[in-house]
Amino acid sequence: MSDGILSKAATMEIPISSNGDTSSLPEDDGLEQDLQQVMVSGPNLNETSIVSGGYGGTAEGIIPTGTIKGPGLHPPPPGPPPGGEEVVRGIAVEKFDIVKKWGINTYKCTKQLLSERFGRGSRTVDLELETQIELLRETKRKYESVLQLARALTAHLYSLVQTQHALGDAFADLSQKSPELQEEFGYNAETQKLLCKNGETLLGAVNFFVSSINTLVNKTMEDTLMTVKQYETARLEYDAYRTDLEELSMGPRDAGAVSRLDAAQSQFQSHKDKYEKLRADVAIKLKFLEENKIKVMHKQLLLFHNAISAYFAGNQQQLEQTLKQFNIKLKTPGTEKPSWLEEQ
């Protein structure tokens, strides 16, 4: 490989050593977790089974006792069609090559990871991108906490509305059966029914808030983080094959070494292209995610504020207007359970 290519690769790496400043880089989740990530994706083998004679083979060629009648024997089943052994052998060779390549790749990546962890190697770092990735992970954790609290609020509201509904029924029944307190029980029954209706309306708004945050966190953010994981794996592979190429470049230049160097150059270029593509994909997804997050949260936080404020102010008209503003329609009221929201 030419000196120009090596110098270009070197500009994209930061050495990991005792005197290097890596305080601005986010900590990984741990060596064991990283090793598990390297090992988890096994070789891509199809479901074709390899059958050979001996252990694990089929029962072809064995004459069952039920075929013996009288003095004669039925002929054994016909053998495999011509060319079958060649097909099986070809499948076996193909699978062996897949396993071999996977093993080599896993070895190189594990070696690179250990080298980085113990300060003997170097890793390619995009400081701006990795800062954005860490910020996304932190944002996701905080939004998950908000989601959990909002779900708890929904459960409490549901219980409150159920209790108010039952209390209103009890007051109405006592109003009919207590002439001396009919008026008092009556207006308490009406109050509880009104509170129950407002509670159902608020519950619809909060459920809409929960549904939207859940989609943002567990679908939109998670999709971006899946691409981030692919990018991080590609980064490790890129550095592993870059290190391998650099080591071969500093070795002897006999005929065998030149051949290995050419193969290493080809593999390095392939992993470099994969790494750069995924880096670009992550950058684009992070940009669109940030724009989408701001748009979604602006709407949802306004909805949540207006609905909560109107409910606790006892402003039924404003509460209903809030749901209309955000196109939230409740199911038919009067059911035993509080109404669940529907978005138009």
Give tens-digit pLDDT for 299-335: 999 999 999 999 999 898 999 999 988 888 776 544 4
Residues 290, 295: Cα–Cα separation, whole Å? 9
Q: What's the chain's length in residues?
A: 344
> Is residue 339, in this structure, part of any structural domain at all?
no
Q: What is the 3-state secondary structure (H, E, C) of 182-202?
A: HHHHHHHHHHHHHHHHHHHHH
How far is Cα 209 from Cα 319, in angstroms, rounded to an integer? 15
**Model confidence over 228-238: pLDDT tens digits?**
999 999 998 98
Confidence of residue 109 (pLDDT cuts 50, 70, 90): confident
For residue 221, what are the CA distances in angstroms to 34, 126, 136? 21, 20, 8
Could you read off the pLDDT of 255-278 as tens digits, one per residue?
777 888 888 888 889 999 999 999
Contact between 172 and 185 under an 8 Å Cβ cutoff? The reply is yes
For the question of whether the overall pTM of this predicted structure is more than 0.75, the answer is no
| Percentage above 70 pLDDT, the chain | 63
Average pLDDT, the chain: 76
Phi-psi region of 124 (alpha: psi -120 to 50; beta: other; left: phi over 0): beta
Q: How confident is the model at residue 160 (pLDDT cuts 50, 70, 90)?
A: very high
Q: Is residue 241 part of a domain?
A: yes
Q: What angle do CA 288, 292, 294 make, to 5 degrees?
A: 120
Query: Which residues span the domain enclosing 174?
Result: 129-321
Residue 317 domain-assigned?
Answer: yes
Whether residue 55 is contained in a domain is answered as no
Burial category of 225 from C-beta neighbours within 10 Å (exposed 0-12, middle 13-18, buried 19 and up)? middle
**Inter-residue contact 326 to 208 (CB < 8 Å):** yes
Write down the residue that tokens 């209390």 correspond to.
Answer: 167
Residue 45 lies in a domain: no
Residue 287 lies in a domain: yes
Domain count, the chain: 1
Does residue 199 fall inside a structural domain? yes
CATH, residue 182 = 1.20.1270.60
pLDDT tens profile 236-245: 898 888 888 8
**Could you read off the pLDDT of 7-46 as tens digits, one per residue?**
444 334 544 433 334 444 444 455 555 555 554 455 444 4
Q: How far apart are the first and last CA of the chain?
A: 61
Task: Give the angle subtended at the CA of 325 by the CAs of 324 and 327, to the nearest 5°.
Answer: 60
In a domain, 233, yes or no: yes
Would you state the structure tokens that stand for residue 142, as one six-digit string? 């905080």
pLDDT given at position 339: 41
